[in-house]
């Protein structure tokens, strides 16, 4: 069940990240002018639109330097050993792009034993990196932390991170979700006698 949910989650992420038309059969994988962005888009889009071409496009994108092509490739083949190794190596090197991937692996127990606390620590480490982070990535990380703390039933932390999302998101659906999380957290805290309405 968890794997089905995570697979669906990745599909949504793929659609959000893959710009342009759904699939373009006219793109030649052997074109010497092929860019890494086009190869990455074809890798992502193949998950839904051309699964029979996924391995070819994702391997091409990976060889061109798009390491996150390992995500759909691992989901497709059922082998996440290379993805886990690469994401871990990149987190150890403080690559900001790797934290959410490694946290996602541990949150869902994809190719590893599930470890919510480690996923939380990865998100917190991401927020403390000594690099300039985009506002959208920081807000998305706070939303992930709110969700993870909800699983842990840490209602004070849920409230804190949901409040950050509510105050900083530019998307109404994220604001609505954050408001629901804050209400849930407040209700749970009242039940536990930690707070007053």
SS (H, E, C) the chain: CHHHHHHHHHHHHHHHHCCCCCCCCCCCCCCCCCCHHHHHHHHHHHHHHCHHHHHHHHHHHHHCCCHHHHHHHHHHHCCCHHHHHHHHHHHHCCCHHHHHHHHHHHHHCCCCCCCHHHHHHHHHHHHCCCCCCCHHHHHHHHHHHHHHHHHHCCHHHHHHHHHHHHHHCCCHHHHHHHHHHHHHHHHHHHHCCCCCC
pLDDT at 7: 43
pLDDT at 194: 77
Q: Is the pTM of this model over 0.85?
A: no
pLDDT at 19: 43
pLDDT at 98: 97
pLDDT at 21: 55
User: Which of the residues in the chain have pLDDT under 70?
Assistant: 1-21, 195-197
pLDDT at 174: 97
pLDDT at 6: 45
């Amino acid at each position: 069940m968890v794997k089905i949910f995570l697979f669906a989650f990745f599909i949504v992420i793929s659609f959000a990240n893959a710009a342009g038309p759904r699939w373009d059969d006219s793109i030649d994988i052997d074109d010497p002018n092929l860019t890494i962005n086009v190869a990455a888009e074809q890798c992502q889009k193949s998950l839904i639109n051309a699964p029979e071409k996924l391995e070819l496009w994702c391997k091409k994108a990976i060889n061109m330097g798009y390491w996150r092509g390992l995500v759909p490739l691992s989901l497709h083949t059922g082998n996440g050993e290379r993805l886990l190794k690469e994401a871990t190596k990149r987190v150890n090197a403080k690559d900001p792009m790797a934290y959410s991937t490694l946290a996602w692996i541990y949150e869902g127990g994809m190719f590893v034993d599930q470890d919510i606390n480690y996923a939380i620590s990865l998100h917190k480490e991401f927020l403390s990196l000594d690099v300039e982070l985009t506002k959208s990535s920081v807000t998305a990380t706070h939303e992930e932390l709110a969700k993870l703390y909800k699983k842990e039933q840490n209602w004070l932390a849920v409230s804190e991170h949901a409040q950050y999302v509510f105050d900083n998101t530019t998307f109404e659906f994220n604001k609505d979700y954050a408001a629901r999380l804050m209400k849930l957290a407040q209700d749970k805290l009242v039940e536990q006698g930690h707070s007053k309405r």
